[in-house]
Structure formats: structure tokens, C-alpha cells
Amino acid sequence: MALKFKEDCCIGCGNCAEVCPVEVWEMEDGKAVMLRPDDCIECGACVDGCPENCISLE
Ligand code: SF4
Ligand code: SF4
């Protein structure tokens, strides 16, 4: 599986960065950035936590 992120739909709420246990996400200029995608353990927390459904595991 791979983490997919639709950058354009991010509203900058910060949930993904908050819930990720391995700090894949950082907030930059009011948007989420996948800074450490290789660290993802595919727990799904950011997928479930994004209010705009910008993130998926495919
Ligand atoms: S799936 Fe889990 S480990 Fe991967 S980026 Fe999302 S919250 Fe972090
Ligand atoms: S949870 Fe979704 S909307 Fe919120 S910062 Fe992360 S990607 Fe953007």
C-alpha cells in the first residue's frame, strides 16, 4: 500500500500531523507536507483524521 495525498484539498487543519505516530507530516505555510513518507507504518490515523478526505492508503 502507498499513502496518497491530494495537496490541493488540504485546508491546513493540522490533524494529520497531530495523529501520526511517526511524524510523517509537517505543516508548512498552512498546508500539510509529507516530509517523511518512508517512515509511514500505514496505521490509517491520518486517513481517518482528515476532514477533507485528502489522504488515502491505496
Ligand atoms: S498512515 Fe499512520 S503512520 Fe502513515 S502517515 Fe498516516 S498516521 Fe502516519
Ligand atoms: S488532516 Fe487533511 S486537511 Fe488537515 S492538514 Fe492534514 S491533509 Fe490537510
**pTM for the whole thing?**
0.95
Burial 18-56 (b: 16+ CB within 10 A, else e): ebbeeebbebeeeebbbeeeeebeeeebbbebbeeebbe
Output DSSP code: residue 16: H
How much of the chain exceeds pLDDT 70, in percent?
100
Contact 5, 34 (CB under 8 A): yes
Q: Mapping DSSP to helix (H, G, I), strand (E, B) and coil, where does residue 42 land? A: coil
- Taking only the tens place, the pLDDT of each residue in 19-34 is 999 999 999 999 999 9
What fold is seen in the domain 3-57? Alpha-Beta Plaits (3.30.70)
Ligand 1 and 44: CB distance under 6 A: yes
User: Binning pLDDT at 50, 70 and 90, where does residue 44 land?
Assistant: very high
52 CA to middle of ligand 2, Å?
7
